[in-house]
Structure 1
Amino acid sequence: MDCRNQRAKVRTEKIKKNGGSHTSAEWKLLLARSPTCAVCGRLWSEVPKRPDPRYKHTWTKGHKIPIHHGGSDDISNIQVECYECNFKKNAGKLSITKTALHNKISTSTTENIMATSQERFSKKFSFVLHNETEVFPVQMKRRDTGSIAFRISPGGTGGNTLEASEEVDEETMVRKVLNEGYAVRCKSLDGNTNGLYKHGHRSVREVRRNVT
C-alpha cells in the first residue's frame, strides 16, 4: 500500500473515531451559501484555476477543527475553503505523515508534531457584534505575491480592496484601527462570520482589548 492510500485509510479511521456526519444535501446547501473562501475571504472567481484540469472548481470541503485535531465530520464543523488554503493548511501534516510512514512512526506522534503556522488571527483585540459574535482581525493572503498581512482601510469607497487599503503588520494594524479609526478584515474563530469592521461600525457593540 503506497503512502497516499495509507493516509486515506488513516483519515477515514479518524473520521469514524471522531464521529459526526453530514449529507450531500447539507453540503450543497452550505456551498450555495458560501460565495467566498472561509479562510482567505476571496471570491471563487478570484482564486486561480487548479493546476490539475481534472478539477473544475476552486472550492473544496474543509473542517473548521481539523480531523487530525479531533474535529467531527458534522456539517457544523464543515466550511467551504479554496483549494490553496485547504492544501496549504494540510501541507505540513502531509509531509510529516509521509516521513512518519516511511520511518514507522506512530500516527499520534505525527499529529503532535504538526506545525501551527496557519494561525492568522490577531488576539490583540476583538470586536463583539450586536448578535454576540466575537470577530478577530485576520491576515489576508495576496494572490499575486503570496504575501500575508493585515489589510486595513480608512473606509468609504473601495472598501477593503487592494486599491483602497494598506497591507500592514500586526503592530501597525492595532495602532491604526484602535487609535486612528481604520477598518480591518475580521473573522470569527469558527469561520462563520467575516467582514470589514471598525470601532463605531453599526454592527459592532464593543471592542475588547488585550484578548488572550
Structure 2
Amino acid sequence: MSDRRTRPGRLESISRRFWFEHESGHRLYPYRSVERNSGRWAFRVAPPGTGANKTINQTLLDDEEEVYRHVFSKGWSVRLCDAEGKRDGLYNKDGYSIVRTSES
C-alpha cells in the first residue's frame, strides 16, 4: 500500500481535462482518490442505474482520456470536486444539478 505522505492530496490530483458547472456556480473537476482496500490511487466512475455512490458499483480508472470517454460517450457518472477540494460528489453530465459542462 502506498505511503500516505507520498500521495498527492485531492487538490494536487484534480484533472483539468473537463469540468461540470454545478447549479451553485462552482466548477467541478474529476480527481483521483484512494481506494481503501487496495490503496489504488485512481479516478472513480460508475455506470448509470447502478446505485453509483456505492463503492462496489464504481470502476477505478487511471487514464484521464478513458475517464472522459466513459463520462461523455457512455454517460457514466464521475467523482468530482471544486477547485478548493470542498464540494465533492458523484455527478453525471446530465444530472439535475449540472447546468453545463466544458463540452456543452
TM range (shorter): 0.7 to 0.9
Aligned counterpart, 2:101: 207
Task: Report the structure, 1 or 2, having the larger strand content.
Answer: 2
Matched residue type, 1:162: T
Give ranges in structure 1 of 5+ residues lacking alignment: 1-86, 93-116
SS at match of 1:136: strand
**Whole-angstrom CA distance in 2 between matches of 1:182 and 1:158:** 12
Aligned counterpart, 1:31: none
Q: Where do residues 69-80 of structure 1 align in structure 2 (5 Å cutoff)?
A: none
Give ranges in structure 2 of 5+ residues lacking alignment: none
**TM-score, normalising length: structure 2:** 0.82
**Whole-angstrom CA distance in 1 between matches of 2:74 and 2:86:** 28
Task: Report the structure, 1 or 2, having the larger helix content.
Answer: 1
C-alpha deviation, 1:162, in angstroms: 2.7
Matched residue type, 2:82: S
Which of the two has higher C-alpha Rg? 1
C-alpha deviation, 1:192, in angstroms: 2.0
Q: Could you report, residue by residue, the CA deviation over 1:154-182 in whole angstroms, capped at 9, with x for unpaired residues?
A: 13242232321211122211111011100
More contact order relative to length (CA 8 Å, sep ≥ 6) = 2
> Alignment partner for residue 142 of structure 1, among 35, 39, 46?
35
| CA RMSD after TM alignment | 1.8
Asked if residue 125 in structure 1 is aligned to residue 28 in structure 2, the reply is no
Matched residue type, 1:137: P
Instruction: State the aligned residue count.
Output: 97
Contact 1:151/1:160 (8 A) holds in 2: no
Aligned counterpart, 1:183: 77
Contact 1:150/1:185 (8 A) holds in 2: yes
Matched residue type, 1:124: R
Q: Where do residues 58-77 of structure 1 align in structure 2 (5 Å cutoff)?
A: none
> Alignment partner for residue 151 of structure 1, among 19, 44, 60?
44
User: Taking every aligned residue pair, what percent have the same amino acid on both sides?
Assistant: 29
Q: Where do residues 1-212 of structure 1 align in structure 2 (5 Å cutoff)?
A: 88=4, 91=5, 118=8, 119-169=12-62, 170-209=64-103
**Whole-angstrom CA distance in 1 between matches of 2:54 and 2:45:** 9
Stretches (4+) displaced over 2 A: 155-158
Contact 1:139/1:148 (8 A) holds in 2: yes
Question: Residues 150 and 176 from structure 1, CA distance in 2 versus in 1: closer, same or farther, beyond 3 angstroms?
Answer: same
**Whole-angstrom CA distance in 2 between matches of 1:156 and 1:140:** 22
